[in-house]
Chains A and B, each alone.
Chain A
Amino acid sequence: MVLAASLINPSFGLLFWMLIGFGILVFILAKFAWPVITKSIAKREEYIETQLAEAEKIKNELANMEKKHDEMMAQTKAERDKILSDARKISEKMYEEAKLKANNEASALIEDAKKAINFEKMKAMTDIKNEIANLSIDIAEKLIRKELADKDKQEQLIEDWMKEINLN
């Protein structure tokens, strides 16, 4: 069939234009388009890769820092607790000491007071004794005087005393 023949027969004109046209196309694209495009793509791929790696690195660093931060926090907390507990112990100790000292002082004061009171008591007792003695002497004196004012009584007294002496 002739129509089919025209389908599979190569034509000179198209061959000519195809060689020129496709040649020019390859030349233009290979010179101005493909190198730019492929290089840019490669560059971007590299950029993305480095960025990803960097991001990963930063992430790791961040995680490390966080870890460090946590560690530091824990350490600080422990230190704080230690300081606090130390402070508490010291204050307790001081309190105990102060208490002890105050107790001692108080007991010393009480002791002193007791001593002073005893002393004063003794002093007062002595005074009272002396007074009582004086008063007794006075009373005795007055009684004797009164007794001796009556003659009978004087004689009786002497008699009594004589009896007593006799007994001895």
Chain B
Amino acid sequence: MTYDKTKHIIPFFFCSLVLLFSSIFSMSVKAEEEEFNPGEYIMGHITDDYGWHITTINDHHISIPLPVMLFDNGSFVAFSSSKLHHGQQAYKGYALGFTEETEGSIVKLGGNYAEYTGEIDHEAASIDHVCKYDISITKNVCALLISIALLCWIFLSVAKKYKEGPLKAPKGMQSLLEPLILFIRDDVAIPSIGEEKYQKYFPYLLTLFFFILVNNLMGLIPIFPGGANLTGNITVTGVLAIITFFITNISGNKHYWKDIFNSPSVPWPLKFPLPLMPVIEFIGILTKPFVLMIRLFANITAGHIIVLGFIGLIFIFGAMSPAIGYAVSPVSIFFYIFMGLLELLVAFIQAFVFTLLSAIYIGMAVEEPHHGELKTEN
């Protein structure tokens, strides 16, 4: 056993060492070129982008170009994000927004720049409109597609294994995933929804759990194909929350709606002249998915911000003096590793919490009235 441990410690140590010096290296490059802006640096990492930025060497951005796809004025436009050159250039009048309001989205330039391709002078150019129907394969969309492909591959191959020998002991990937599947079934779905009804919602809960988990974990990998902040994106968490919202309210039975609008356990003065409780309960329907959305978004984004903050400290101190940068690096790396481990835990917890709360909401919607409550109604 001790032999195995040392075997793992050595590569780990070297990795940390490489990480440490690589950060110093990129730091010195940055420091020469422009002043390091931590806010921009962190936001750039956690928000969406049109290309997948990997690294910058000697002021030369290395990124994977991704397709930009727009529905603009009734026509479909598609081109590579490399044509935009990180906002430096325009392509057929399309460019990255450069004003405060349009930052982060594609804009159609007006005036002389309407069909312009090439370097843009941000002082002279005017914006005609922001392209609203932008279905570009951005960094997050790319990460989404990768995670979907990964999930399909994992679970279809696992399903194949189950098909081949349903009575065999699980092996490899199967034995990793089976406890999680059983956990979702025995500790999330069945206790929340009930033995009789859980099966209808079980596929959704499983997909939800593994989708969030895989994307949380991929978000922790610093380089491509990880590193996108997908589950820390409010659109993604919002879509998941909205799906839960629809499933909950579509499967809501009479008892569920009655509990919201005319709960027998609420005294009538709270209901009759002023429908206080029904209004609160109705707002509750909407706050539940809202809270789901915010919780996952905030947890994952916060984790990324903290990790980036620790790495950013190296650049901030390195800009003052390389010596301080060197001194701060080990501390930053230590905290980065600590946070990384914590994020690993958070990745599981948040996937579990989202799934558990979804299951509980669905369970509340499909719950049959208790006999005790029936008596008070009569």
Contact = CB atoms under 8 A, between A and B. Distances in A.
Contacts of A37: 155, 158-159, 162, 181
A3 to B, nearest CB: 4
B138 A30 contact: no
B100 interface: yes
B155 A41 contact: no
A22 B240 contact: yes
B301 A28 contact: no
B323 interface: no
Interface in A52-105: none
A28 B134 CA distance: 26
Contacts of A33: 152, 155-156, 158-159
The interface residues of chain B, by DSSP majority, are classed as helix
B301 A29 contact: no
B163 A13 contact: no
Interface residues of A, number: 38
Interface string B229-244: 0000111101110010
A22 B182 contact: no
A95 to B, nearest CB: 70
B103 A29 contact: no
Chain B interface category by residue count: 35 or more
A7 B46 contact: yes
Contacts of A29: 151-152, 155, 203, 206-207
Given A3-B39, A44-B167, A10 B151 contact: no
Contacts of B134: 11-13
A15 interface: yes
B185 A32 contact: no
A84 B5 CA distance: 71
Looking at A6, A9, A14, A40, which has the most chain B CB atoms within 10 Å of its CB? A14
19 contacts: A2-B100, A3-B43, A8-B234, A11-B48, A12-B132, A13-B138, A14-B48, A17-B144, A18-B235, A22-B240, A25-B148, A25-B211, A26-B207, A29-B206, A30-B203, A33-B155, A34-B207, A36-B162, A44-B166
Interface of A: 2-4, 6-19, 21-22, 24-26, 28-30, 32-41, 43-44, 47
Given A2-B103, A3-B103, A26-B204, 17 more contacts: A3-B39, A3-B47, A6-B48, A7-B301, A17-B135, A17-B145, A21-B144, A21-B145, A22-B239, A22-B240, A30-B207, A33-B158, A34-B155, A34-B203, A36-B163, A38-B202, A39-B166
